[in-house]
C-alpha cells in the first residue's frame, strides 16, 4: 500500500507499507502483509497462538487448563467443536436476537431521557448483556460494567516486582481478578451447580473445569466479545455520522445489506490489527521458508487492504466487494483458521441491532471530537468521546 492512496479510515495506524507480502523485520519477526500469505499462517497446523499475554498464561501451573484462546492442537479443536453450538446462525437468531433488541431499546431510552450519551457506554452495555448471556454470568452483583472497565483500562501498566509502578499494576490486576471472581463468576458457578443451563459455564462445569479455569475463560470471552464489539460499534457509527450518503444507504437498507455494510467497515477498520503466531515446524509462507520457533505477525489492517483480493481503492468503503475475502466480507478482521473468532456473527448482528435503532432517531447527531488511543501489542484501538445527542424537547 502506498502512502498516497485515498483513504476514509478513521483510525490512523501510520502509513501503509508497500513491498513484499512477507518480510523479516530487524527484530527477527516475520511480518505478513499479503492476504494469501496471512491465510496460510492462520490456517497452518504448524503454527500456534502467540502474543495476547500468552507468556503470562504459560507460567500457570500445568494442572490448570489454559483458556481456549491459548490452546492449540486436538484439545483446542475439540473445545471449539463442543462450544460451536453457542454461535450457530440459528442459535444467534433464536436465542440472542430478542435480547439484543431489548437491550438496544433500553439504550435508546437512556439516550432519550438524558438527551446525550457516550456511544462507548451504550455499546459496552449492549456487548456486556449479550456476552454475559452466552457465558452464563447472569447472577452478578451490581457493578459488572465498572469492574470490567477497571479490568480492561484504556492504558495498561506492566506488572512486576522491581519497581513501584510494576507493584502497583501487579496488585491492581490481582484485585481486579478477585473482584470479578467474587462478584460475578463465583455466584454464577454456584447457581449453575444448582441448576444446569445451556451456556458456557454449564459446559465448562460438565467438562470438569475448576473455578479458576472458568474465571479465565470468562475473562477471555469478555475481552473477545465485549471489549472489541464496543470499539466496532463506535467506529461504525463514526463512519455513518461522517458520510451522509453511507448513512442514508444504511438507514434505507434491509438487514442483509446493513450487515454487509458493517462488515465492510470492519474490513477497513479491524479492531485487532495484529495477530501473532509461532511456528512449531518449518513452514512455507508466501513461497518463503520460515524455520521452527519463529515469530510471525499478521498485519490485519494491511492484509485486509490487499488490492489483489479486495480490488481497486482498498482504503475506501465499498460494500459488496469481490467474494475473494475467504471467511467473510470483513476479511481477516475476525481471524481465520482454528482461532477464528466464533462470535463473529453475534458481534455483527448486535452492532446492527443497536445502530439501526439509534440512526432511526430523528435529529441524532454527534458532538465533540472522537479520541483514539491504541493497544500496541495487538494493534488495536479504543474510541472515546464520541458523544451522541438528540434535539432538546420542546
Instruction: State the Cα–Cα distance between residues 46 and 161, nearest whole angstrom.
Output: 35
Instruction: State the Cα–Cα distance between residues 225 and 221, nearest whole angstrom.
Output: 6
**Contact in structure between 127 and 230 (CB atoms under 8 Å):** yes
Mean pLDDT, 10 residues at a time, over the chain (394 residues)? 73 74 92 94 93 66 75 88 93 95 97 96 96 94 91 64 65 85 95 95 94 91 90 97 96 96 96 94 94 95 92 90 74 93 95 98 92 86 94 77
pLDDT at 358: 98
**Contact in structure between 263 and 330 (CB atoms under 8 Å):** yes
Find the length of the chain.
394
pLDDT at 93: 94
Instruction: State the Cα–Cα distance between residues 79 and 132, nearest whole angstrom.
Output: 19
Tell me how crowded residue 360 is: count the other CB atoms within 10 A of its CB.
Answer: 10
pLDDT at 161: 57
Q: For residue 32, what are the β-bridge partners?
A: 22, 298
From the list 58, 188, 41, 90, the residue with the least C-alpha distance to 69 is 58
Is the pTM of the predicted complex or chain greater than 0.85? yes
Instruction: Quickly tell me which residue has 478513521 as its cell.
Output: 10
The domain ranges of the chain are 22-136+197-389, 137-196
- 380-384 and 274-279 beta bridge pairing: unpaired
**Contact in structure between 103 and 125 (CB atoms under 8 Å):** yes
From the list 307, 223, 322, 224, the residue with the least C-alpha distance to 264 is 322
From the list 378, 336, 380, the residue with the least C-alpha distance to 35 is 336
Instruction: State the Cα–Cα distance between residues 135 and 214, nearest whole angstrom.
Output: 10
Q: Does domain 22-136+197-389 have CATH number 1.10.630.10?
A: yes
Phi/psi at 274 (nearest 5 deg)? -135, 130
- 274-279 and 371-375 beta bridge pairing: unpaired
* C-alpha to C-alpha distances, 243 to 9, 247, 281, nearest whole angstrom: 12, 6, 47
Amino acid at each position: 500500500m502506498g502512502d498516497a492512496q485515498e483513504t476514509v479510515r478513521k483510525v490512523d495506524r501510520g502509513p501503509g507499507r508497500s513491498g513484499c507480502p512477507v518480510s523479516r523485520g530487524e527484530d527477527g519477526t516475520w511480518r505478513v502483509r499479503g492476504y494469501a500469505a496471512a491465510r496460510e499462517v492462520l490456517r497452518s497446523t504448524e503454527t500456534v497462538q502467540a502474543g495476547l499475554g500468552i507468556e503470562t498464561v504459560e507460567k500457570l501451573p500445568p494442572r490448570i487448563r489454559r483458556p481456549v484462546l491459548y490452546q492449540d492442537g486436538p484439545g483446542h479443536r475439540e473445545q471449539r467443536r463442543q462450544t460451536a453450538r453457542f454461535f450457530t446462525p440459528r442459535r444467534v437468531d433464536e436465542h440472542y436476537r430478542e435480547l439484543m433488541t431489548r437491550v438496544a431499546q433500553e439504550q435508546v431510552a437512556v439516550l432519550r431521557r438524558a438527551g446525550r450519551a457516550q456511544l462507548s457506554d451504550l455499546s459496552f452495555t449492549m456487548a456486556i448483556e449479550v456476552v454475559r448471556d452466552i457465558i452464563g454470568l447472569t447472577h452478578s452483583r451490581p457493578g459488572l460494567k465498572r469492574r470490567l472497565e477497571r479490568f480492561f483500562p484504556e492504558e495498561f501498566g506492566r506488572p512486576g516486582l522491581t519497581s513501584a509502578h510494576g507493584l502497583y499494576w501487579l496488585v491492581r490486576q490481582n484485585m481486579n481478578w478477585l473482584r470479578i471472581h467474587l462478584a460475578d463468576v463465583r455466584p454464577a458457578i454456584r447457581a449453575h451447580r444448582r441448576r444446569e443451563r445451556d451456556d458456557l459455564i454449564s459446559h465448562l462445569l460438565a467438562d470438569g473445569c475448576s473455578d479458576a479455569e472458568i474465571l479465565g475463560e470468562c475473562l477471555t470471552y469478555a475481552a473477545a466479545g465485549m471489549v472489541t464489539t464496543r470499539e466496532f460499534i463506535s467506529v461504525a457509527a463514526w463512519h455513518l455520522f461522517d458520510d451522509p450518503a453511507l448513512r442514508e444507504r444504511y438507514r434505507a437498507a434491509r438487514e442483509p445489506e446493513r450487515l454487509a455494510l458493517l462488515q465492510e467497515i470492519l474490513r477497513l477498520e479491524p479492531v485487532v490489527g495484529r495477530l501473532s503466531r509461532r511456528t512449531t515446524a518449518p513452514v512455507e509462507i508466501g513461497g518463503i521458508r520460515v524455520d521452527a520457533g519463529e515469530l510471525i505477525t499478521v498485519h490485519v489492517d494491511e492484509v485486509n487492504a490487499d488490492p489483489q483480493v479486495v480490488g481497486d481503492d482498498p482504503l475506501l468503503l465499498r460494500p459488496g466487494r469481490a467474494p475473494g475475502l475467504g471467511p467473510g466480507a470483513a476479511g481477516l478482521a475476525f481471524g481465520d483458521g482454528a482461532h477464528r473468532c466464533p462470535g463473529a456473527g453475534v458481534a455483527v448482528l448486535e452492532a446492527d441491532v443497536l445502530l439501526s435503532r439509534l440512526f432511526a432517531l430523528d435529529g441524532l447527531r454527534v458532538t465533540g471530537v472522537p479520541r483514539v488511543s491504541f493497544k500496541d501489542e495487538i494493534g488495536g484501538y479504543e474510541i472515546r468521546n464520541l458523544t451522541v445527542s438528540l434535539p432538546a424537547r420542546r
